[in-house]
Amino acid sequence: MDKRIENITKVLDKNKAESIEVFDLREKNYFVDFAIIASSLGSRHTLALLDHLKKDLKPEENFNQVDESGDWIVVDLGDVLVHIMTP
C-alpha cells in the first residue's frame, strides 16, 4: 500500500475511526487515485478526526478543500479523497 495511504489510515485508526476502507481507483479513470472512507462515532467525533488528520499529516499533505456538513466530511488531498461520516 502507498505510504501516504498508510499514514492516513493509521491516523484514522489510532483515533477510533471505524470501518476504514481504501479504494484504489488508479485503473478506474476517476479524478483521484485513492478514496478512503471511514465511519465516526458521531458528528463531534467526525470533526475530531478531521482535526487529527490536519495535525498529524501537515506539513506533508496539502489540504486543498475540506467540505463539512457535521455528519459527513470530505477532505481533498489532491489525488486522495477522504470521506468521514457517521453511520
**Cell numbers at residue 1, please?**
500500500
CATH number at residue 38: 3.30.460.10
Say yes or no to pLDDT of 56 above 70: yes
Structurally, the chain folds into a number of domains equal to: 1
Residue 1 has pLDDT above 80, yes or no: no
pLDDT band at residue 84 under the 50/70/90 scheme:
very high
Global pTM value:
0.93
Mean of pLDDT over the chain: 94
**In which domain, by residue range, is 42 found?**
3-85
- What confidence score (pLDDT) does residue 71 get? 86
Handedness of CA 52, 56, 59, 64 (dihedral sign): negative
Percentage of the chain modeled with pLDDT above 70: 98
